[in-house]
Structure 1
Amino acid sequence: MTIAGPRQHARRTYSRFDSPGWLGQVLIDAIGDASPSRVLDLGCGGGVLSLAALSRWNVSELVTVDIDAAAGDEIRRALTPEQAAAHRHLRADVMSCLLDGVNGLRSGSLDIVISNPPYRTTRWTPALAPILERAGLPACTTVYGDVPVDMIFVAQALHLVRAGGSLGLILPDSIISGAALAPFRRALLEKHRVARVIQLPRRAFKGTDAQAYVVIIRREGPSTSVQLDRILADGSWLEPVNVGVEQATRRMDHGYHRAARPEAEHGKRSLREIGAVAARGTLSSVEVLKSEDPTFHTTDFPMATGASVFLPPSAGPHAAGVWAVPGDVLVARVDRRLERKVALVAEGGARLSDCVIRLRCPLGVGDRVVRSLTSPDGQAQLRAAARGTGARHISISALLDIVV
């Protein structure tokens, strides 16, 4: 039997994935030249961000906050005597209190707040409303009605940092690109200056392939444009992309905007603009197995991307549900490699599972759409538009934004 150590226990209990050392340096470097007096590490975990901050700035006070009782001792062991003299650790639950008055923490009292919040959601409760309201941010939920924990951390950090101060945050793709959180992004952009969003390589954190981002916010808003950057797995940086507030409200990930831009420059149009209509299948995986009608699921896509599919002969009228017929383009909605699962229906018909999206294009356009989606540019757009870890997913809205 294996006994979990303190760090493993914290990872399980608090959904904690400590930042690798190089990432702490990227975050501090992205904040830029500053001479902070008071720095707060909110949800400090093992202290990687704190140590990176102390290596860059000579602060008079470093405050670390974490719900984990062992976090403070873990950080103190890594500090020099001079650094330890400036360090103060507070045990507090960021999700259950306003933090004002907690051992000297006050609104607008910090020069810089850094944080790598837990990557999970929690049930909405009325107690969370004041945390968001005082930061001027809306109470957005995910498709399941849960609240992203990182959204609460952002609100707490904005309340505690002084006017003109900076936030350096490591956030998951729900805040950056999730459709349900677009109102949150808009409020953030309208009230504060989102200076940079740096897309990190997948698997930046050991033990998860979550897509994460470094986000730099100045409490001096509003935003006029946002610089989007991206670090590749080999450590190289891609050319930055600058987007306006409307584009950033839709999504703030470099991969998405960089993939769409070359096509737009060639005068091509989105699937929405050419008149394509998308529909999501309705059958669950259990219903697929029980259905007496012919069905099509993600496992039925041909091995070759873009190949034609030949479905069983279909005589109308069709039963209820979403059916594929000749000329329809099928795209996987959920799959680890969903960009590879694109097909054109050549003959026959079948009811679609809820893991498949049907694109019904203007007459004669289906072949062109398949060629575009399976081209290098189309594949890049599909990869960039997909979200999530493990089995990734793409929304109908994001699919219709792809240009062909």
Structure 2
Amino acid sequence: MFDPKLPNVLGLDNFFDLAVCNPPFFRPEWKRDYADILQSARLEDACVTVADVSAEIIFLAQNLRLVRSGGIVAMIMPDGMITGYRAKSLRSAIIANHRIDCVLQLPQNSFHDTDARCFIIFITKEAHQCDKIKLLRYDALDGLLESIFVSKADGEQRLDYDYHSSKIDHGKEVTTLRHLGAEVVRGSVGTVEARDSRYPIFHTSDYLASESGLINLPSAMPMLENKKLVVAQAGDILMARVDRKLHEKVGMVVSGMAAITDCVYRIRLPIDAQEVALKALRSREGAARLKAVSKGVSARLLGKADLLDMPLNL
């Protein structure tokens, strides 16, 4: 499948009307032939560096070569290709040179032995991209949910239904952490340093003792020469940045001080906005939106900009 001469060998170049496929998921060693495959499929701008070229991108390019102009490729895509920052150039290249008819988000656990989110992308080869891209989601309980449409610019950023659905105003009064004047800072203490530290450290595992959402830290923080430490204190909201269940790990410091690890965000807000923000982030809607805007297969990752601009129900 990685031979640039494959369509000619098969004698099926630009032959098929429809290709339905499930690609292999691995990162092959770069070969110059891959550049020819990508260029032939008009995806030469899909990867910034050769390190970004994955098997699924080559697989997509080969299938685009095999279908005729106006033919359709329906392909299963992993979460990273649909939501990842490093795959933005791929999404941009597809939108610029082909037409994304629809992206269908599949239910969790659709495939055996993995709970990774997966999608099916429907692409019409060399067709003009419409102004809006259709996103769908199939729910295991409720079936096919109502479709939503996003702009090409928004589609280049991300193509997952949950993310864009979380930004729709459903008639409730909403705001964002950015509008509330929040300062969001990532912790600076690494795993090794945290294990050997001489000072109090707060990590994602410490939320287990803070299920109420109220966090009590050690009462004293020694004066240290390390000026790069990010220290949490009373009034700060601490939010997991990387964790399998980051949407459940939100709390406010009510006493004490501690440095935070690089797996935790410190959210500092004006006093009158602290409790409002905490309640919104810990609500059922807040947890669902945090889960929607985060990305990743096993451990989820929450981007700073996504956190700042995520709608919050007041």
Q: Which residue of 2 aligns with 1:171?
A: 77
Q: d(CA) in 1 for partners of 2:6 and 2:270?
A: 56
Is 1:238 aligned to 2:145, yes or no? Answer: yes
Contact 1:193-1:222 within 8 A present in 2 as well: yes
Tell me the SS of whatever aligns to 1:399: helix
Q: Read off the aligned partner of 2:300 and give its amino acid letter.
A: R
Deviations 1:223-242 (A, max 9, x none): 32111111112361211112
CA distance in 2, matches of 1:362, 1:129: 52
Q: 1:130 to 1:283 in 2, by over 3 A?
A: farther
Residue 190 (structure 2) pairs with residue 284 (structure 1): yes
CA pair 355-127 structure 1, distance change in 2 beyond 3 A? farther
CA distance in structure 2 between the partners assigned to 1:277 and 1:131 by the alignment: 45
Separation in 1, partners of 2:265, 2:152: 29
- 2:292 paired residue number: 384
Structure 1 vs Structure 2 CA RMSD? 2.4
What residue number does 1:132 align with? 38
| Displacement of 1:178 | 0.9
Residue in structure 2 matching 1:295, options 190, 201, 215: 201
Find the partner of 2:257 among 349, 356, 378. 349
User: What CA distance in whole angstroms lies between the structure 2 residues aligned with 1:104 and 1:200?
Assistant: 34
Shift in alpha-carbon separation, 1:316–1:372, aligned structure 2, 3 A: farther
CA contact (8 A) 2:166 2:311 kept: no
Q: Structure 2 CA distance, aligned partners of 1:129 and 1:305?
A: 51
TM-score normalised to structure 2 length:
0.88
Aligned to 1:102: 9
For the Cα contact (< 8 Å) 2:41–2:61, is it kept in 1?
yes
Residue 18 of structure 2 aligns with which residue?
Answer: 112
Larger Rg: 1
Identify unmatched segments of 5+ residues in structure 2: none
Q: Which moved more, 1:111-120 or 1:297-306?
A: 297-306
Measured in 2, the distance between the counterparts of 1:360 and 1:196 equals: 39
1:261 maps to 2:168: yes
Residue 221 of structure 2 aligns to a residue whose secondary structure is: coil
Say which is worse superposed, 241-250 or 128-137, in terms of deviation. 128-137
Secondary structure in 2 aligned to 1:217? strand
Task: Choose the corresponding residue for 1:321, options 185, 210, 229.
Answer: 229
- Measure, in 1, the Cα distance between the counterparts of 2:253 and 2:47: 39
Is 1:183 aligned to residue 89 of structure 2? yes
Q: Is the 8 A contact 2:46 2:91 kept in 1?
A: no
Cα offset for 1:96?
4.6
CA distance in 2 between partners of 1:370 and 1:350 (Å):
19
Matched residue, 2:311 = 403
In 2, are the aligned partners of 1:225 and 1:242 still within 8 Å (CA)?
yes
Q: Is the 8 A contact 1:302 1:309 kept in 2?
A: no
Using CA pairs below 8 Å that are at least 6 residues apart, which structure has the higher relative contact order? 2
User: Conserved in 1, the CA contact under 8 Å of 2:48 and 2:89?
Assistant: no
Structure 2 residue aligned with 1:251, among 141, 158, 171? Answer: 158
Q: Give aligned-pair identity as a percent.
A: 35
Q: Deviations over 1:197-251 (max 9, x none)?
A: 1111111011111211111111212232111111112361211112121221221
Pairs aligned (count): 308
TM-score, normalising length from structure 1?
0.70
Work out whether residues 195 and 218 of structure 1, in 8 Å CA contact, stay in contact via their aligned partners in 2. Answer: yes
